[in-house]
Structure 1
Amino acid sequence: MKALIVDAEELYRLSLREVISVSGNFHEILEAGSEHEFLARTAHHADFSLIIVHPGSLGEDGEDCLKLAKRLYPDAAIVVILDRAGQAAMVPNGVPTVHRGASVSQIVMTIRRALKLPLDGFGTVASQPAAPNVRRMMDMPAPRSGDSSLIARRPDSDIDFSRLSYRQKQILAMAADGLPNKEIAARLSIAEGTVKAHMHAIFKVLGVQNRTQAVIRYGAAGRAQAARNQEMAYATAS
């Protein structure tokens, strides 16, 4: 199984990694500390079994990331970390939540319920003392959260990326990795204005209005292609 932690606080992400590692048989645990990093992960990974989102740490981007996680990974188990009771209103129906100050045992059990894993005999293991730094990190003061009004669309994976030039594909891939226009320009040794012009051309080809939508569609197309490749490999093997 593969898990993704979406949380702006590095220390809290480190503590969650330890908690997740004892919650199930995870072969890979990835992290995203911002919306850009989250989008970059979605562009390259299609098979998350678990996504833990801490919206309050991400400010205005928190609710957007939660909605995107739900739309992009409908089969994944999603767990939301809440800083206060009032934040429950942003959580989609059926998505389990756990308070930021919950015990390690409570978080482990919430994760296992979300994954539909057996709970019998696991509470004892989860109740064992965590690494010395885990409780301190879990009890750190929570950041202030912001409001969000952006509602993301479900991405369309049926996009013909062959209509993009090689340079535009380079820029889109870098944008999916979370790089800003200035850094993309520096890496490609071109003017920042040129990057912006390419981005606007990319928007037109993909039929989107902004960078976030372009990256989402890029990620969706990549996952669709991976699925097609897997089907072809299976058909050949048969």
Structure 2
Amino acid sequence: MIRVLLADDEAMIRAGVRAILAADPEIEVVAEAGDGREAVDLVLAHRPAVALLDIRMPRLDGLAAAAELRRVAPETAVLMLTTFGEDEYIARALSEGAAGFLLKAGDPRELLAGIRAAAEGAAYLSPRIARRVIAELTGGRLTRAAAARDQIAGLTPREREVLALLGAGLSNAQIARRLHLVEGTVKAHVSAILTRLGARNRVQAAIRAYEAGLLDQEAAG
């Protein structure tokens, strides 16, 4: 069972999201919050696998709540849910350690897929958000690609394999099965990769893999 905390200052939005999640027998909403401060307190009380946070909330907004949760409850994955798709929100959400970014206007299946991915330790971006991130990356890709390749060169061959699969959106368990490793070994590789790349989370590491061309190599293989 995937335990989820839902935080949004609009009761109707919470009810709608809760109804979507209730359709999946493997997802349980264990607590609801109407503001960011309450969300942090409830995460500490219930320790859910995933915290689904609205961007704009009173007392403490979703981005500030995500940053605090990264410090006090790093085991809880944070997904940002909002009606706003501006680049500044996307960049800040990812920099604050969010595991994914979803739009309220998106397909309900995206919400379920995002929660499952976050609970499994993977990253998830709404397809519309992913296209914007890739477009931004492509704008300065040559410069970033060179820098990313320099960083990737410091990884071991096995770490590069793990990073390529991480970049393709696989969870630790899926990577373990693909490479015939135990999950604990994959987790250790991911931790080492984040440290070597100076990445705060899996999303940033996945972007680095994209910039370095590892995903192209994985597809070709």
What TM-score results when the alignment is normalised by the length of structure 1? 0.43
Higher relative contact order by CA 8 Å / sep ≥ 6: 1 or 2? 1
What TM-score results when the alignment is normalised by the length of structure 2? 0.46
Which has the larger Rg?
1
